[in-house]
Amino acid sequence: MEGSIFSTLTSNELGIFFTGLGVALSAILSGIGSAIGVGKAGQAAAGVIADQPERFGNCLVLELLPGSQGIYGFAVSILILIFSGLLGGSTESITFSRLAKRADGFGNGMMLALMVETYALLSLIVSVFLVLFA
């Protein structure tokens, strides 16, 4: 793939990219599917409640069931974010080996670790926005 964006990225950068892509897709696609399912169930429930208002509780439970897939997708997104912490751990382990050799390596190592944490924080912010505004 000469000239593609992926040919210029290192393996760590590709890992971060695909981690973010996985988080976004698992949250977005499961949220879209659940929204469609809850909407269709809500339309059917509205028809039942119009004729028999006493069945509201039963209709509400049945309407909420399609939303569980959105929760599962969000849980998968959280798991992806947790396990992407392995990237941060590998960066910090390199910093420890540098500190063992040179005492002045703390600042540089801290900056490298903060770069990994920046993307973890951005993933968290995107997940929160998806939950609040989707």
Question: In sequence order, which residues have a C-beta less than 8 Å from that of residue 116 and are 6 or more positions away?
Answer: 16, 87, 88, 91
Question: What CATH number is attached to the domain comprising 111?
Answer: 1.20.120.610
Closest to 20 measured CA to CA, from 92, 127, 111:
127
Closest CA to 84 of 115, 128, 116, 125: 116
1 belongs to a structural domain: no
38 in a domain, yes or no? yes
* Distance (Å) of CA 4 to CA 1, 13, 19, 25: 6, 14, 19, 22
The tens digit of pLDDT for each residue in 48-80 reads: 888 998 989 888 888 888 888 888 888 878 777
Has residue 84 been placed in a domain? Answer: yes
Residue 32 domain-assigned (yes or no): yes
Number of structural domains (the chain) is 1
Q: Is the pTM higher than 0.85? A: no
Residue 90 has a pLDDT of 64
Is there a domain that residue 112 lies in? Answer: yes
- Domain extent for 118: 10-129
Residue 4 lies in a domain: no
DSSP result, 50-86: HH-GGGHHHHHHHHHGGGHHHHHHHHHHHHHHHHTHH
Tell me how far apart the terminal alpha carbons of the chain are, to the nearest angstrom.
35
Domain assignment present for residue 5? The answer is: no
